[in-house]
């Protein structure tokens, strides 16, 4: 399962990381079942991910990182996802939260990376908290669900509401909070992406200084707290488009692995209740596998088209208009839906054995379906948002565009 870059250029640092990931993939794949059972990646797998550099690709250059663009983030998470979608998801989430950290004021970034250049940042943007404005910052109490990579995070980016004197919500903020200020509740009992350890974070009356916060609505429109983001193309790309696009990488890698698995087994696996001794000879199986392969190929092409489009916005300092952002949101949903349809076809083609505990297809199937359920991915919401933009309907249905 070698990594693929479709002939596009990646930086020398990212190429080194991809080469190291390639070497680690067999070991990561061999332990995917253990991570699924334990509801967290094995210590060995997490250590391998850290050693390859896959967990730090988006750390800003000024802090010694590669400062990966969106294509590069997707190349890495897709590669890891080919061995284990859950491991790819942890890689994706920590890297996009590293990218988020690069949008905070410089002092906040120094707080994170000064003492530990390899700090792991995770996060949940939903403002499931209460807050009070105090001198120098905010006091925050809350519970944040589905914080992927929870057991390994050194810091977390957490959403919180900002209230006026009457107690009405007037804004939404993001806060950088050190692990010493929150605790992890072991709550991740989900059918798929089990190895991601997407547990609940709980903080109680935590003080967050102003320099470790920024407002979400301005960021959606391209106004960030980082004083020098103008000099960093990846940090002036579309805010929600970046957060959405990176989510499909792990599923893409996993779907490609599932396709290769079904193709390999088809040469010797019979079609039950038929005269076919090999699935590869059955027209019905051929049609299902061909359709799945096409869906995966289109998903790959569209994934990196989306990535390159976002990266160009940053390189050209051309912040996208709402309609273009809606297009990206819809495309991300289409990619996720295509991969979900592909794994369903592959499960049907392979037969009932796909659902055996010993068969990796059932884990991939569960992981892809759970990954597609992420709120930012939501195909239906993406289509409606884009449809409204195409037809001139100004009615907003989500701020996440």
Q: Are residues 267 and 333 in the same domain?
A: yes
Average pLDDT over the chain, rounded to whole? 95
Q: What angle do CA 55, 60, 61 make, to 5 degrees?
A: 110
In the structure, what pLDDT confidence band is assigned to residue 6 with cuts at 50, 70 and 90?
low
Q: Are residues 145 and 93 in the same domain?
A: no
Q: Are residues 196 and 301 in the same domain?
A: no
φ/ψ region of 315 (left if φ > 0, alpha if ψ in -120 to 50, else beta) reads alpha
Question: pLDDT tens across 79-117, in order?
Answer: 999 999 999 999 999 999 999 999 999 999 999 999 999
The tokens for 324 are 């273009």
Structural domain of 25: 12-116
- List CB contacts of 139: < 8 A, sequence separation 6 or more: 131, 132, 205, 206, 207, 208
In the structure, what pLDDT confidence band is assigned to residue 177 with cuts at 50, 70 and 90?
very high
Give mean pLDDT, residues 272-279. Answer: 94
Q: Are residues 106 and 127 in the same domain?
A: no
Q: Are residues 264 and 354 in the same domain?
A: yes
Q: Are residues 100 and 179 in the same domain?
A: no
pLDDT number for residue 230: 66
Residue 222 phi, psi dihedral angles, 5° rounding: 95, 15
Q: Are residues 86 and 164 in the same domain?
A: no
Question: pLDDT tens across 363-388, in order?
Answer: 999 999 999 999 999 999 999 999 99
Q: How far apart, in whole angstroms, are the C-alpha atoms of residue 293 and residue 262? A: 11
Q: Could you identify the residue written with the tokens 């990176």? A: 246
Can you give the CATH number for the domain in which 347 is found? 1.20.140.10
In this predicted structure, the answer to whether residue 181 has a pLDDT above a threshold of 60 is yes
- Whether 73 is in a domain gets the answer yes
Q: Are residues 263 and 386 in the same domain?
A: yes
Q: Are residues 260 and 368 in the same domain?
A: yes
Q: How far apart are the first and last CA of the chain?
A: 34
Q: Are residues 188 and 245 in the same domain?
A: no
Among 194, 222, 250, the domain-final residue is: 222
Question: pLDDT tens across 242-270, in order?
Answer: 999 999 999 999 999 999 999 999 999 99
**Predicted TM-score of the model (pTM):** 0.96
- Whether 232 is in a domain gets the answer no
pLDDT number for residue 8: 60
Span of 101-105, 150-154, 166-170, 216-220 with lowest mean pLDDT: 166-170
- When divided into structural domains, the chain yields a total of 3
Among 98, 116, 134, the domain-final residue is: 116
The tokens for 78 are 């897709």
- Whether 105 is in a domain gets the answer yes
- Whether 227 is in a domain gets the answer no
In this predicted structure, the answer to whether residue 1 has a pLDDT above a threshold of 60 is no
In this predicted structure, the answer to whether residue 3 has a pLDDT above a threshold of 50 is no
In the structure, what pLDDT confidence band is assigned to residue 165 with cuts at 50, 70 and 90?
confident
Q: Are residues 265 and 340 in the same domain?
A: yes
Can you give the CATH number for the domain in which 148 is found? 2.40.110.10
Q: Are residues 247 and 383 in the same domain?
A: yes
Among 189, 222, 255, the domain-final residue is: 222
Per cent of the chain over pLDDT 70 is 97
In the structure, what pLDDT confidence band is assigned to residue 9 with cuts at 50, 70 and 90?
confident
361 and 347 Cβ atoms separated by less than 8 Å:
yes
């Amino acid at each position: 399962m070698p990594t693929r870059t479709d002939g596009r250029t990646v930086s020398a640092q990212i190429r080194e990381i991809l080469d190291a990931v390639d070497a680690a993939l067999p070991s990561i794949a061999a332990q995917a079942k253990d991570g699924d059972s334990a509801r967290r990646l094995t210590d060995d797998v997490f250590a391998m991910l850290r050693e390859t550099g896959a967990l730090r690709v988006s750390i800003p250059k000024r802090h010694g990182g590669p400062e990966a663009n969106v294509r590069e983030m997707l190349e890495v998470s897709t590669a890891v996802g080919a061995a284990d979608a859950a491991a790819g998801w942890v890689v994706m989430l920590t890297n996009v939260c590293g990218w988020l950290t690069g949008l905070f004021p410089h002092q906040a970034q120094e707080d994170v990376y000064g003492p530990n250049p390899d700090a792991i940042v995770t996060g949940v943007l939903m403002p499931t908290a209460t807050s009070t404005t105090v001198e120098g910052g905010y006091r925050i109490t809350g519970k944040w669900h589905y914080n992927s990579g929870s057991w390994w995070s050194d810091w977390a980016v957490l959403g919180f509401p900002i209230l006026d004197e009457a107690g009405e919500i007037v804004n939404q903020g993001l806060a950088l909070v050190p692990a010493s200020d929150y605790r992890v509740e072991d709550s991740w009992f989900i059918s798929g992406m089990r190895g991601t350890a997407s547990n609940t974070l709980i903080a109680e009356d935590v003080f967050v200084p102003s320099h470790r916060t920024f407002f979400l609505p301005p960021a959606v429109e391209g106004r960030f707290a980082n004083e020098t983001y103008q000099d960093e193309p990846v940090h002036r790309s579309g805010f929600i488009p970046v957060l959405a696009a990176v989510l499909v990488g792990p599923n893409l890698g996993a779907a490609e692995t599932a396709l290769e698995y079904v193709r390999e087994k088809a040469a010797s696996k019979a079609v039950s209740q038929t005269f076919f001794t090999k699935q590869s000879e059955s027209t019905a199986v051929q049609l299902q596998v061909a359709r799945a392969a096409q869906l995966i190929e289109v998903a790959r092409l569209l994934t990196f088209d989306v990535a390159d489009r976002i990266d160009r916005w940053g390189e050209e300092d051309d912040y996208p208009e709402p309609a273009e952002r809606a297009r990206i949101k819809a495309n991300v949903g289409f990619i996720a839906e295509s991969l979900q349809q592909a794994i369903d076809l592959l499960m049907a083609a392979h037969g009932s054995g796909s659902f055996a505990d010993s068969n990796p297809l059932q884990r991939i199937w569960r992981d892809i379906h759970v990954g597609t359920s992420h709120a930012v991915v939501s195909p239906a919401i993406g289509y409606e948002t884009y449809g409204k933009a195409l037809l001139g309907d100004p009615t907003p249905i989500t701020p996440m565009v």
